[in-house]
Amino acid sequence: MDNRLIVTYGEDPFKMVKEVLEKADLKSLIPKGAKIGIKPNLVVSKPSSSGATTSPEMVSALTEYLKAHGFDDIVILESSWIGDSTGRAFKVCGYEDISKKYGVPLFDIKKDTYSTRSFNGLSMEISDKVLDIDFLINMPVLKGHCQTYITGALKNMKGCISDREKRRFHTLGLHKPIAYLNKVIKSHFILVDGLCGDLDFEEGGNPVKMNRIFCGTDPVLIDAYIAACMGYRPHDIDYIKLAADIGVGSCDIENAEIIVVSRDTTTASPSSLRKVQQLAGFIDQKDACSACYANLIQALARLNERGMLRHLKGRCIKIGQGYKGIECEGIGIGNCTKGLSHNIKGCPPPASDILEFLQDKVLYR
């Protein structure tokens, strides 16, 4: 299923995970008797509601699916960022409870031994436990990053190396070593937590409720889709382009087969977070779905980064089912606002398309 992405929307992570895994037929991809590794993103000791870490409900649902289909050799492995404790992250993020409930061990990669692997002249210290895994399930969070703009499937593999190697990756500029690392370690399946991710930072603090989960087998394609969800194009993120160039996968999101299992029907709710509230000040929403609203917030965040929000000049962007059937002057996002004079269609339109629409079709009119 390399060129397929399976997406679903909603507020019930257990149901959503089961939906995409059944559609992907994950069980048929895993060799019989395989040692399965689940690699979440537990970069810091913060709950998933912060927008920083992988939802424990998603990991629970995945574990139940695997065990229901006869896969019992499972380990959850992670290494939090330098300066934080993986053991504390396991506890704070709810993973100790998962381990007890399902009998799945937790493994701290910081305490592992390492072997050197190389690609194209770059050597890396890789966890021996990771190298011993037969089938690696990568569970990144759809979120921003202060240096690389986004973090997703490719960058999540950085938790599979030693802390010493993490420091060196930063001295090398992150992009090249991240791409090369994914030639050394293969993600066999990627299940993305897009329920609640941070607008800007890997460690959370400005989460946006996005209500989506998606999966695939190509980490480059997954990250290209994550980029689109956050208002970027694949070529905006150096490590996505580099990974595609060296054959890790394809970043051709335009020709990917995107299968939507369930559309979002949940209503967007106001955020109490200052940054999200500031962006929401440019929006006039009436019964907007959470996914569409989140994509607009992401696009406005990118406009803000470029110093372009001032060009809206007091105009509010309309979004939501409350605008169905209304024809008037204004800026509208999504199919529900197709009667407005300036409209971008989609259900929901990607944040990258919204950004382009606002930049090229609206701001300078």
Specify the range with the lowest mean pLDDT, choosing from 48-52, 115-119, 145-149. Answer: 145-149
Say yes or no: 221 and 255 in one domain.
yes
Q: Are residues 208 and 104 in the same domain?
A: yes
Type of residue numbered 227: A
Instruction: Tell me if 342 is assigned to some domain.
Output: yes
How many separate domains does the chain show? Answer: 2
Tell whether 265 is covered by a domain: no
Q: What is the tens place of the pLDDT at every residue in 211-251?
A: 999 999 999 999 999 999 999 999 999 999 999 999 999 99
- Claim to verify: residue 249 and residue 279 sit in the same structural domain: no
What's residue 34's pLDDT?
Answer: 98
Per-residue pLDDT at 1: 63
* Euclidean distance between CA atoms 297 and 303, whole angstroms: 10
Range of the domain at 214: 4-260
Residues 170 and 287 in one domain: no
User: What per-residue confidence (pLDDT) applies to 121?
Assistant: 95
CATH of the domain at 50: 3.40.50.11440
Please give the residue that has the higher pLDDT: either 294 or 115.
115
pLDDT in tens, 153-203: 999 999 999 999 999 998 999 999 999 999 999 999 999 999 999 888 788
Residues 323 and 243 in one domain: no
Q: What are phi and psi of 38, to 5 degrees?
A: -105, 120
Give the whole-number percent of the chain exceeding pLDDT 90.
Answer: 75
**pLDDT for residue 117 is more than 80:** yes
Average pLDDT score over the chain: 93
Residues 295 and 254 in one domain: no
- What would you report as the CA-atom Rg of the chain, rounded to the nearest whole angstrom? 20
Among 238, 260, 282, give the residue marking a domain's end.
Answer: 260
**What secondary structure does DSSP assign to 25-46, as a single string?**
THHHHSPTT--EEEEE---SS-
152-178 burial code (b ≥16 CB/10 A, e <16): bbbbbbbbbbbeebbebbeeeebbbbb
Residue type, 365: R
The answer to whether position 20 is within a domain reads yes
Is 267 domain-assigned?
A: no
Verify that 201 and 179 share a domain, yes or no: yes
Choice between 172 and 96, residue whose per-residue pLDDT is larger: 96
CA distances, 262 to each of 6, 211, 265 (Å) = 10, 11, 9
Cβ neighbours for 325, distance < 8 A, ≥ 6 positions apart: 339
Cα 90 to its chain centre, rounded Å, is: 20
- Nearest alpha carbon to residue 222 among 240, 204, 199, 205: 240
Residue 365's pLDDT band (boundaries 50, 70, 90)?
Answer: low
Note whether 110 and 199 are same-domain residues: yes
pLDDT at 269 > cutoff 90: no
Question: For 309-333, what is the mean pLDDT?
Answer: 87
- Asked which of 260, 286, 312 is the last residue of a domain, the reply is 260
Residues 221 and 355 in one domain: no
Buried b (16+ CB within 10 A) or exposed e, 34-65: bebbbbbbbbbbbebebbbbbbbbbbbbbbbb
Examine residue 348 and say whether the peptide bond preceding it is cis (omega within 30 degrees of 0).
Answer: yes
pLDDT of 340 > 80? The answer is: yes
